[in-house]
Amino acid sequence: MIEVKDLVRQFKSGDRTIKPVNGVSFELEKGSLASIVGKSGSGKSTLLSLLGALDKPTSGDVVVDGVSLAGLPDGKLTEYRRRDIGFVFQQFNLIPNLSAVDNVMLPMEFAGVRKAARLKRAKELLEQVQLDPEKQSRRTNRLSGGEQQRVAIARALANEPKLILADEPTGNLDEQTGEHIIELLSSLSRDHNTTILVVTHDRSLARKTERCFRLQQGRLTEEVRTGSRR
């Protein structure tokens, strides 16, 4: 479970102070899929960076399974980022001249998993994200955008993170491929009991997630839903 408590991040901009995140609080249940929408510059990436410990808040805290990030020294924050967070980006950020399977194995290598176990898990994950088996050994720069995003999602799952943060994961994909990726994230959040938070400009995609938040002027509000996804 992720608890975000009165989070504030301010930046100096000339002689002005801006607060793209200004008192944000919410909780995410384990295994849920949620989205955040908001205009360009509204602070969505800033908020994701705070949740992923890529940045530190001006005040407030993020508590992950009872562990307060505000109380962790830098070394432990790096460990948290590597072990507990999976990142998925708009640009996929794969290593282009490595195969799909090698890209997925990489974070497990950093985590000290033995080679045979890495290979087995990478293949299982690529199967779960429905990448054609004959494409597993293909270099990722020879895969389509949708296929590359599937590989990036498999890589994000490699070390069984507590939270996956996805920043515009469908931004480079056509509408139908984007929908498939959101459906995939939805089934993976359930199957792996992993919490997934997606930032998107696309309101029709956001409607497909279980919960949807809007970030506006530093504040987060939740859209009320009728009916449930599950």
Ligand X SMILES: Nc1ncnc2c1ncn2[C@@H]1O[C@H](COP(=O)(O)OP(=O)(O)OP(=O)(O)O)[C@@H](O)[C@H]1O
- Give the shortest CB-173-to-ligand X separation in angstroms: 16
- Should residue 40 be labelled a site residue for ligand X when binding is judged by CB under 6 A? yes
Shorter beta-carbon distance to ligand X: residue 101 or 199: 199
Q: Say how many CA atoms lie within 13 Å of 202 toward its Cβ.
A: 19
- Give the shortest CB-199-to-ligand X separation in angstroms: 7
Phi, psi of 74 (to 5 degrees): -55, -40
- CA proximity to 58, closest of 83, 24, 85: 24
**Residue 146, amino acid:** G
- Give the shortest CB-120-to-ligand X separation in angstroms: 37
Torsion angle, alpha carbons of 195, 199, 205, 208, to 10: 30
Angle of helix 145-157 relative to helix 100-110, nearest 10 degrees, comes to 20
- CA proximity to 164, closest of 51, 60, 11: 51
- Give the shortest CB-21-to-ligand X separation in angstroms: 8
Per-residue x/- track, 20-39, ligand X (CB under 6 A) = x-----------------x-
- Give the shortest CB-104-to-ligand X separation in angstroms: 27
Are the beta carbons of 37 and 215 closer than 8 angstroms? Answer: yes
Shorter beta-carbon distance to ligand X: residue 77 or 98: 77
Shorter beta-carbon distance to ligand X: residue 168 or 210: 168
The residue within the footprint of ligand X, chosen from 2, 34, 37, 44 (CB under 6 A), is 44
Interface residue list for ligand X (CB under 6 A): 11, 13, 18, 20, 38, 40-46
